[in-house]
Structure 1
């Protein structure tokens, strides 16, 4: 089991660094926006992310189908099929990206009808437009990344994600604060920074795949395999849509909760954004670990090696449990220090925002273990192509139990943002239990059956 853990971590580590780099872009944006000197700009950013994350995460879920099918074909050592899944998967993701971005553009005025502070909604609209269009290069980049990850070449995308950090910081510095003669665009400047950075990393990764010798054999068969196939699209959707619904329901729970908190006060919304950004950053490690475990189980699933699948799953879940405990201790220890990075000391309302954010981080600490294990369990189940039942289980955990409980605590018991975060704890814990038990039961049962 130790050897399996090492193999999974070797594959997952570059994915984790890449995920952290992507999340760091968001944290940098949040921190720089928070230092503009108007906490309503931070609240506007929180509102936009709450609205945009549900469709965005749905698009990311579609990209998961690329790594799953590519990894399974790679496990069978079928390079032609790898190329075929890559091409069809890329265009499926492109269609999804265009639909999502177009829908956000057409529906941007919904921000004025969510019961939010009027100035927050006004500031949020142009930021939503820019972030909406930046989804296209981001999802296309993720489609290419899932292809390389599925082949277990994970370092290229990681390096690009890390290199994007200083580019994003520099563009933000120019456009948010109006340095070097550029206009001071504040929140809109952060939107332009994200759009430009995401476009650059997509273009560069595309050029690498088309030209590098590592991927040459998959490009070489393009005349035979780079054709749109309806049956292939359906197979990709059978993995992609449930995967999208799974992560979309979790992200949706946080997003809807953010909108509910926004009806309480801009201070509560800004504090929620700070605590959520911190929790999302640590979650990226769990996501990377989940993708590493998912790719390895998918590869073994292609060979029907259930003993291997069970060993990979158990070792990955143990790593997730240990990581969750570490994060819980970290958040508890740093809860009074982390909010300072996202607020301007002399700003009106900054002390209230920082104080509430620190309190919410205590609740984030509590759900770190369940958040990590549920992400990994969902990834392992995707690896064995079990996606329908887990989607139902996740729906029950978040939307039948977690969100209603949080809403009642927030509104009926007047706990505000704290009530919503209690709902997070309930939903994540149930999801973790449901999914972990299901994977262990399926993999344990099948490994006893002779291949």
Structure 2
């Protein structure tokens, strides 16, 4: 089979969007299942938090410690194999069916290698936490959870490989259905094993770990079965000669994906560091920070889903050597992201108090201070909704051009050398406390947003399209 398929293959590369209206329909159709899937993915963790909370604060704290330790390793692996999406999209645009098969196959290789390398590190939770002075009892309990959930690295990273492949072919509804079913399965298994219901043993934190592991395995198998058996995707034979290496594509995944992973960790690390700064102020500040961050995270899922769609749409246009398609795909995702974040901004500003009352009862005297702080933090979160939506859609549009290294450096600089220092100065030097910390986060996000949006706007002058024959002006 030749590297290039004949032009008679209609399903491989979609027609270019001829108008802004067509681009709007294409982006929205691709993005909305991804948005709901991202929200459902959040619900997987939320379910465990709620159920562990029913056991008591000790179990919830231990589960949180375990999840906090495990998540950065998972995000690093997920970020790297996320490079499969732009690579497959570009190959689709170029109508290169053999490259698609090889990219997905090497995505699986990368998932296996990453999980094998990260697993021993994740299992070191106890000695590291004890070295950092964490409570020994909570650390022992967290280790029980992590010893099981750590093995979910293999299916969880594999899921991202398959999700990237399906997203690159606009098959996001399948991703949505499997993710939502995963939420239901996880809730049932966790409820059964955490509390020992339906005649099963009471495993508490181990039950939560087993539920997470089992759910990820089932989701991976369901997604793999769909890809292999579906008539549209089975023809790619993604498992054909699975053990045959393709070092060029393997290196490309790591070359493009490693900066993506480090960008994600830089942003997550900024918010983690902000939580530690809050801890230096007081418990109420930490509680208020957690509430505001949860609200901001939920709203963030929408532009994140739009960003993933932007990666695919821009990548396909890039592979098709279509500069106008790149322009429309990138700016359409940007406009949709900003449009939604304008709504969430207004919601946070107008309804901060009712939102906080969902988490804390303001009629209880012990909650009054934390609730008041949370209202202030959510108002600031509303303000930075706009720049948060801008930076994530711009970053993903650039990923569609395989442009990840410079955006990584801009993100690290903006989050760690602009955002966090500003948080410290405003929070502690000027004594604005928690409000100052959140304003610093907004400054960091705004700085990165301006740079990334400008980079996409100047893509031709910066030579980002030279590979498709578009020269600098």
Q: TM-score, normalised by structure 2?
A: 0.85
Distance across 2 between alignment mates of 1:130 and 1:344: 35
Mark the CA change 1:129 to 1:37 in structure 2 (over 3 Å): closer, same or farther: same
Alignment of 1:250-269 (within 5 A): 250-262=267-279, 265=282, 267-269=284-286
Contact residue 123 and residue 150 of structure 2 kept, 8 A: yes
Deviations 1:131-190 (A, max 9, x none): 433333211111111111122222211110011122222223223444334455555543
Instruction: Work out whether 1:105 is the aligned partner of 2:123.
Output: yes
Q: Secondary structure at the match of 1:321?
A: helix
**Whole-angstrom distance in 2 between the partners of 1:169 and 1:333:** 33
Task: Look up the match of 1:331.
Answer: 348
The 3-state SS of whatever aligns with 1:395 is: helix
**Structure 2 counterparts to residues 125-274 of structure 1, below 5 A:** 125-219=143-237, 222-223=240-241, 227-262=244-279, 265=282, 267-274=284-291
Q: Quick check: 1:114–1:259 contact (8 Å CA) kept in 2? A: no
Q: Could you tell me how far 1:75 is from its partner in structure 2?
A: 0.8
Q: Residue 335 of structure 2: SS of its match in structure 1?
A: helix
Structure 1 unaligned runs (5+)? none
Give 2:17's aligned residue: none
Which of these residues, 331, 340, 356, is aligned with residue 314 of structure 1? 331
Q: Give the Å deviation of 1:35.
A: 4.1
Q: Secondary structure at the match of 1:180?
A: coil
Is the partner of 2:245 in helix, strand or coil? coil
1:394 aligned to which of 395, 398, 411: 411
Q: Deviations over 1:96-121 (max 9, x none)?
A: 12222321112443223445566654
Residues 1:350 and 1:136: Cα distance change in structure 2 (over 3 Å):
farther
Greater CA drift, 362-371 or 178-187? 178-187
Residue 345 to residue 400, structure 1, CA distance change in 2 (3 Å): closer
Change (3 A) 1:418 1:119: farther
Supply the distance in 2 between the matched residues of 1:424 and 1:287 (Cα, whole angstroms).
Answer: 18
Asked whether 1:29 is paired with 2:64, we answer no
The aligned residue for residue 39 of structure 2 is 20
User: 1:406-430, CA deviations, whole angstroms, 9 ceiling, x for partnerless residues?
Assistant: 2344444555544432222111111
CA RMSD of aligned residues (A): 3.0
SS in 2 for 1:54: helix
Structure ranking higher in helix proportion = 1
- Aligned residue for 1:404? 421
Q: Measure the CA separation in 2 of the matches of 1:158 and 1:370.
A: 27
Give the number of equivalent residue pairs: 449
2:119 paired with 1:85: no
Q: How does 1:57-68 map to 2 (within 5 A)?
A: 57-68=75-86
Partner of 1:426: 443
Q: 1:277 to 1:175 in 2, by over 3 A?
A: farther
- C-alpha separation in 2, matches of 1:356 and 1:178: 38
* Superposition deviation, residue 247 in structure 1: 1.6
Q: Provide TM-score, normalisation by structure 1.
A: 0.89
Taking structure 1 as reference, are residues 260 and 189 closer, same or farther at Cα in structure 2, changes over 3 Å only? farther
410-419 or 72-81, which moves further after superposition? 410-419
Q: Which runs of 5+ in 2 are unaligned?
A: 1-19
Question: Taking structure 1 as reference, are residues 166 and 253 closer, same or farther at Cα in structure 2, changes over 3 Å only?
Answer: same
Distance 1:412 1:182 in 2: 55
- The question of whether the paired residues in 1 share the 8 Å contact of 2:107 and 2:161 is answered with yes
Q: Is the 8 A contact 1:16 1:285 kept in 2?
A: yes
- Could you tell me how far 1:7 is from its partner in structure 2? 1.2
User: Higher relative contact order at CA 8 Å, sep ≥6: structure 1 or structure 2?
Assistant: 1
Aligned to 2:9: none
- Residues 423 and 325 from structure 1, CA distance in 2 versus in 1: closer, same or farther, beyond 3 angstroms? same
Native 8 Å contact 1:264 1:416 kept in 2: yes
Q: How does 1:290-301 map to 2 (within 5 A)?
A: 290-301=307-318
Please give the alpha-carbon distance, in whole angstroms, between the structure 1 residues aligned to 2:45 and 2:286: 17
**Matched residue, 1:372:** 389
Determine which structure has more spread, i.e. the larger CA radius of gyration: 2
